[in-house]
Structure 1
Amino acid sequence: MPGCTRARGQVRAMPVTIDRTTSSRRAPPHPARLSLTPAPGGLDGIWWPRSRALTRELPTLTAALGERWGRVTGVTVHPGYWPVIPHWVSVAGRTVQVGWSTEAQDPHRLTLSLPDGRRDVLVIPPESGAGAAAQLMAGDGTEAPAREEAADRIDARIGEEAWETDGGAGRPSFPPRPIGSTGPSPAGRRR
């Protein structure tokens, strides 16, 4: 029995101390790191998430964008850089649909569906250094393709570093096909 000891055939309960100084409540989320200045290439803004966990990052992003652009009803991502893609996320008591596409979605863009249309946001890799992210978010006169190339370089460098530190065992380039999906997996092969 957990929390018990035996002494010569007897079972004695051990005292248990419960530390109530740590609350089971989560800390309030950090504000979304956004630049909503329209940019060439059809970009409506730039987002620098803190991680690649969409279930953690999207509620903060969609709440922040909802205040500025209106209610976000859906999000589409490219599966290449997100290890887990949920079917939906909860935002302020409602759900936002999450989908993915390898054909219509640029790996470094996130497409948001709103009642009045769609908006595209460039995604800066979360592992980016603060200096590189600040340059991308400020624009510094670079066109959208140059920003996406910079994001590609950051991802390539991070991938090489992971390959080296993990002994050559980096993460796969595409996550498995979502549960319940009837189409081919993102890599184009059937499972």
Structure 2
Amino acid sequence: MPNYSIIQKDFYRESGKWLSTFEILTKCINPNLHFIYILRKAQKHKENAILGIFWRIVLRHYQIKYGYQIYPETEIGEGFYIGHWGSLVINPKAKIGKNCNIAQGVTIGQQNRGRFVGFPTIGDEVWIGTNAVIVGGITVGRNVLIAPNAYVNFDVPADSVVLGNPGKIYSTRKSTVGYINNKV
């Protein structure tokens, strides 16, 4: 496989095709893809004084415009996909693996007390449904589906589905089959 940029890998998840820079820019009419493009630029240039400041200002504008609270410091693997336009909050210290899908209304946040103080670490190929909440110093394994409206404040093993509030874990190897397409 050729050496594609992280932006190309993110956009591949949406279309299933490798796109040129021009094709990527034309797809930025989609608010989700537009935001991912700007986020990745801010992440790429965060160490550069001039470009870093420029992309942070642009990112801040689109955080407010689109309602996405995701920061350049957040570690997000390649193939990131935001399913729908709408409110989204991800703590800057959270870690998200590659080929992850996140729907609208999701919160991935910090827990300040209790057994799991800290920030979530989410593995590869995780699908997070609408209005799900994932909080605390927890680990979500690889190939996990977190159902819409689920509340997760506990570790989730790989190859699982989490349903409900409070969340309940169901083990299955096919948890994300048909949910995560065009993997990179």
Using the size of structure 2 for normalisation, the TM-score is 0.24
Greater Rg over alpha carbons, structure: 1
Higher RCO (C-alpha 8 Å, min separation 6):
1
